[in-house]
Structure 1
């Protein structure tokens, strides 16, 4: 019981950092960057937040996997969608994969273009919006474990 509770606390703290950082970026930094037509507002935030955000994401993944296993959901049961908590785990993993694809696209496509002189912030804005929405959706889906799953 204490082990699972510690995992949950770590997971929630990391989710606060990950999702909260993206909400802060979307609500405060993106509007300022668009208003001032200044890509460096977002790029500077990204540079400062990256270590904390990526660390939080690693804690999220690690604690999420550990909690799934503690619930008795082995990796062989992931994506089976057979039981309510398995559905939560499977949906969150699918959303995580989508988030990682968006992050890779931003890191290797959009951000290098911005650094190279492209000033079009819309592709990055769309990525930020989708990653933020995915993070919030993962929080909502994860909350259903409290009620036995989906």
Structure 2
């Protein structure tokens, strides 16, 4: 096994946790919370998932940057969009920024004050982060064939 393959394996395991956790939240917990208008369902999941989820996200960032350099996409070409690899990596970086914006909004404004009145806004953020995660996963899978 090469070092790149090892890093890819770590990246894929972290993506499994990150995207899988958000899919579980979106498909199983969120509908129950919305139906009952009970924010505790979301807060309890968030409390249990936060350490594992954030650790996975950190691993995704580190291994993603590492693999980008392995593909020859350095910081100088991150937002170049000139080739297949550059386009995928640049798009994933834009989506990562969107994820951070959602996370900051959730952590600073909605989670501390989550109630039955703003639970729909939190649901929108959860679904947005989940869709971004799935999009990033699909984009990453295109690198095997040279990107998009």
TM-score range, shorter chain: over 0.9
Unaligned runs of 5+ in 2: none
**Contact 1:34–1:121 (CA under 8 A) maintained in structure 2:** yes
List aligned pairs for 1:46-65, cutoff 5 A: 46-65=46-65
Report if aligned partners of 1:17, 1:53 keep a CA contact under 8 Å in 2. yes
SS in 2 for 1:73: coil
Unaligned runs of 5+ in 1: none
Aligned residue for 2:131? 133
Misfit runs of 4+, over 3 Å: none
Aligned length: 148
**How far apart are the structure 2 equivalents of 1:68 and 1:120?**
39
Q: CA deviation at 1:118?
A: 5.8
TM-score by length of 1: 0.95
The alignment's TM-score, normalised by the length of structure 2, stands at: 0.96
Per the TM alignment, residue 119 of structure 1 is displaced from its structure 2 partner at its CA by 3.9
Which residue matches 1:87? 87
Mapped contact 2:102–2:125 kept (Cα < 8 A): yes
Contact 1:39 1:119 in 2 (8 A): no
C-alpha separation between the residues in 2 aligned to 1:121 and 1:141?
30
Counterpart-to-counterpart distance in 2, 1:63 and 1:83: 21
> Aligned-pair RMSD on alpha carbons?
1.1
- In structure 2, how many angstroms separate the alpha carbons of the residues matched to 1:113 and 1:22? 21
Q: CA deviation at 1:37?
A: 1.8
For residues 106 and 149 of structure 1, what CA distance do their matches in structure 2 show?
A: 32
